[in-house]
A and B are shown apart, each in its own frame.
Chain A
C-alpha cells in the first residue's frame, strides 16, 4: 500500500533520515521503533508531509504523495499524537468531527459517524459528545484523539507515540483497543514508539531505526532470532529474548492435537487459546503441570500444549 523509497531528510549538514526504504502492507500494523533522535518521528511525519523530504519519495497506492497539496493529502490520512492534541475550546463531538467538516460532510452523516466512533471507544455519546477535553480523564482524552484521527474513515492511520503519556494499565488497555479497532476497520496503521514491548505487542512488522538509518524491517520473531545488527539485539533485549519470542505466539497457534494418551488425567489445567505462550508457560510453572488442555473462547477443546513443546518454541529456529 505504501512504498517509502530512499526517503531522506537533512537539516543543514545533519542527516536526520538517511535513505530509508520500506514497503508497508495493507491492513497491517507497522511499528517504527528506535531511541530518541533516531529519526523515527521524522520518517513518520514525512509520510503525511508534515516534514517535506529532502530526497526520495512516498507512494500511496502507487501515487506519489508529493503531487498533491499537503493539506489535502493529510485529510486522507489519520494522525494521532502523544498528548492527543485535542482542541481545548471544542467539544468531544466537534473535535472528532474536525476532518469530516474539512471534507464537507453532511451534518447527519457526521453525527452518525461521531456516535459510532464514541461507541466503539466505549464512550457513551449522550454523556461525552458535549463535554470539553478538560472534563475527560487522560485515557478518555487519548481515545478521543484516536477517534478523531479515524473520523473520516482514512485507509491509513499514522500514530506518533500515541500512548506515551498513559500509565501502564491504561496503556495496555489502549493497545488492546487499537488491535480491535484495526481488525474492525481494517485500517493500515503506522505507529512510532520507543517502547520495544509496545512494538512487539502491536506490530505485525517492526522497523528498527538508529541515527537516521533503517537497521532492520521484519516480523518481530525474525528480529529476535536473526538480528541484523548488534543494536537490534540490544534494543530487543538479550536477557529475556526467549520470553519475548514466546509472547509472539498464542497457545491456540501452538496447540497440537490431543494424543488422548492420558484421557483420565483430569488434573491437567485448561488454558485459553488466546493467551500467549509466555503466559501459558507461566501458568504451567505455577500449577506444577507438564501439560495443559487448550480451549477456545467457547470452552471447546482445541488441542494440548506441553512444557517441552513450549520450551522448544522459545529457541531460535
Chain B
C-alpha cells in the first residue's frame, strides 16, 4: 500500500553516510577551531597554538585542506568500502605529513630546546580518519589473515617513517631521543610483565577452570574468590601485596635473591597474575560447558581415556572461548602494567608517571602511545586467531 515513500527514504539515507557525517563534522571543526600544533619554547612551558593553515606554506596548506575536503566528501557520499578505506588512508597520510612538516618548519635549525607538540586539532583529525578507516575495514569483513597483514603493513610503514626520522622534530620524538636507551628497556619490561603474568595465569587458570567444570560444587567458590580479586583497584592491590612480599623477602633470603621484594617487578607480576585469573578461568569453564555432551559421551564410549578426551576433544573445542579470555587478559594487562611503574615495576608507565611529575605532557605520550599501540595490536592478533579457529569448525 505505502510502498512509494519507502525507497525514497532509503535512497536519501544511503546518500549521506551517518558516520561519515559525524567524522566530517568533527574533522572540519578540528581544522577550523582547534590548534593543529603547539609551539613551546621548552618542554614544560605552555606554548602558542597554531592552526593548520598557519604553519604550512600557502600552497601546501591549500593542498592539504583540499585533500582533507576530498576525504570528507568520500566519508559523506561514497558507499564502496575499498574507496572509503583508501580515502581514510589518504587522510591519515596527509595529517601525518602535515604534522611532520609543521615540526620541521617551526623548529629553528639546530635548536633542541623548543618543542613542537601535536595539538588537539591533530589528535581529533587522527581519531576521525582512524575511525573512518576502522569502519571501512569492518564493512569489508576481511578474513583474519588479511586483518593481521593490514596491521603488519601499517606497523611497518609507521616504523619506517619513525626510523627515517620523519617525525624527529615533534615533541614526543624529542623525548624519545633523550630517553632512547631507557625506552627499549622499559618497553621490553612492559611486554615481559604483561606476557609473563599472562603465561603464569594460563598455567594456573586452565587446571582451575577444568576443576570448576568437573566439580560443580567448587565452581561458585573459586569464581567468587577471583571475582573479589577483580574488584580491588590495581593500585590498592599493589599496596596490599607490598607488605607480605616485603616480609617474605626479609624472612627468606633466597626469595630476596630471586628478586622478590615489596616493591619492584615481583608485586607487579603477582598482581597482574591475580587479575588475569578470572577471565581465563571463567572462559575455560564457559568453553568446556559448551562442548557437546554427545561428543564427550561418544569419546568415552569409543574407549578414549579421560586425558585423551580432555586434550583431544574438550580443550580443543573450548579453545576459541579460552583464547577469547586470554585476549581480554592480554589487552587488560598491557594497560595495567602502566600502573606497575608506581611501585617500581618498570614498563612504559615509567614515562607516564615521570611526565606527570614533570608536567611534561610529551613524556606522558611517549609512554601512553606505545601502550595503546601494543594493546591494539594484541587485540587484532588474538581476535584474528580466535576467528580463524571458529571458522574451521563451526558448532
Contact = CB atoms under 8 A, between A and B. Distances in A.
B302 A79 contact: yes
B298 A79 contact: yes
A253 B300 CA distance: 42
A50 interface: yes
B389 to A, nearest CB: 9
Nearest to A145: B298
B393 A74 contact: no
Nearest to B308: A102
A82 B297 CA distance: 10
A88 B303 contact: no
Nearest to B301: A79
Interface in A35-62: 48, 50
A74 B295 contact: no
A71 B303 CA distance: 4
A83 B393 contact: no
B388 interface: no
A66 B86 CA distance: 70
A74 B305 CA distance: 10
Contacts of A81: 294, 297-298, 301
Nearest to A79: B301
A134 B394 contact: yes
Contact of B295 (A71, A73, A86): A86
B297 A88 contact: no
B138 interface: no
A27 B328 CA distance: 56
A76 B303 CA distance: 8
A164 to B, nearest CB: 11
Contacts of A158: 301
Interface magnitude class on chain B: 20 to 34
Given A85-B292, A88-B317, A71 B393 contact: no
Contacts of A145: 298
Interface magnitude class on chain A: 20 to 34
B216 interface: no
B65 interface: no
A81 B293 CA distance: 11
Contact of B313 (A72, A84, A87, A99): A87
A43 to B, nearest CB: 15
Contact of B302 (A74, A82, A88): A74
Interface in B360-395: 392-395
Interface string A85-124: 1111100000000110010000000000000000000000
A132 interface: yes
Contact of A86 (B298, B303, B304, B305): B298
A75 interface: yes
Contact of B294 (A73, A76, A83): A83
A84 B317 contact: no
B294 A89 contact: no
B191 interface: no
Contacts of B294: 81-85
B298 A74 contact: no
A145 B292 CA distance: 15
A75 B303 contact: yes
B300 A50 contact: yes
A143 B292 CA distance: 19
Contacts of A72: 303
B234 interface: no
Contacts of A99: 302-303
A211 B258 CA distance: 65
Contacts of A71: 303-305
Contacts of B395: 88, 134
Nearest to A70: B303
Nearest to A103: B303
Nearest to B395: A88
A66 to B, nearest CB: 16
A74 B303 CA distance: 5
Nearest to A134: B394
Contact of A50 (B301, B392, B393): B301
Given A134-B394, A134-B395, A87 B302 contact: no
Nearest to B316: A89
B299 interface: yes
Nearest to B309: A71
A102 B394 contact: no
Given A87-B313, A88-B395, A134-B395, A102 B304 contact: yes
A287 B219 CA distance: 69
Interface string B277-318: 000000000000000101111111111110010000100110
Contacts of B304: 71, 98, 102
B63 to A, nearest CB: 54
B303 A85 contact: no
B317 A74 contact: no
Contact of A85 (B298, B316, B317): B298
Q: Chain B CB within 10 Å — which of A83, A86, A89, A99 has the most?
A: A89
B173 to A, nearest CB: 48
A78 B27 CA distance: 68
A76 B395 CA distance: 29
Nearest to B294: A85
Given A73-B303, A75-B303, A79-B302, 9 more contacts: A71-B303, A85-B294, A86-B295, A86-B298, A89-B317, A98-B299, A102-B304, A132-B393, A149-B302
Interface of B: 292, 294-305, 308, 313, 316-317, 392-395
Lowest 10 A-B CB distances belong to which pairs?
A85-B298, A79-B301, A74-B303, A75-B303, A85-B294, A89-B393, A71-B303, A83-B294, A85-B295, A99-B302
12 contacts: A50-B297, A50-B300, A84-B298, A85-B292, A85-B297, A85-B299, A88-B292, A102-B303, A102-B308, A134-B395, A148-B298, A149-B302
